[in-house]
Amino acid sequence: MKTKPRSPAKRGLSLVDANAGRLITYQDDVLDIKREIEQRWAGLLSVAFDQEQEEWVIIEHCQDGTDRLVFTTHALSQATIDRLQRADQASRSFVDPNEVYEAEDRKEQREKDHSLSEAVGEAAERLYFALLRDGLIHRPFVFFPNR
């Protein structure tokens, strides 16, 4: 019997679809996306391929020990990573718009107070000493008992 020479397989994840009798191979571009997701969210997310539905499944490993479905997709791409980043509210890229608004509001209020004190400060000081000199304002005296 004559044997066929073996040809090395292409790198990637190869699956045989028994029902359709076809070989499905995912190349490095898809596997790189899978690897990046599992490295960026190490211990939190994992990616698996559902052969029955022919789609990728993103799974979250929760702190209470349960695994939850994040979402499924037919193709792994950069759009999948972008979708995960938008979903990840604990991410450094997430900014709460309400906190930003309140911080800007506090900053604007401090600037207004500072500019008002700069504009009125010298005139208010002169008015205070003029009223004090005319006797309209009396300095409070603080008495300390002798011990």
The pLDDT tens digits for 111-130 are 998 998 888 888 888 888 88
Are 47 and 34 a contacting pair, CB within 8 Å? yes
Confidence of residue 103 (pLDDT cuts 50, 70, 90): very high
C-alpha 25/C-alpha 93 separation (Å) is 34
Confidence at 25, pLDDT banded by 50, 70, 90:
low
Domains in the chain: boundaries: 13-87, 95-137
- Is the Cβ–Cβ distance between 84 and 41 less than 8 Å? yes
Tell me the C-alpha distance between 31 and 35, whole Å: 6
CA distance 57 to 44: 14
Helices (H), 75-141: 78-87, 97-134
Judge whether residue 28 has pLDDT over 70: no
pTM of the predicted protein model: 0.47
Strand 45-50 and strand 55-61: pairing? antiparallel
Q: Is the pLDDT of residue 141 over 70?
A: no
Report whether 80 contacts 71 (CB < 8 A): no
pLDDT of residue 13: 54
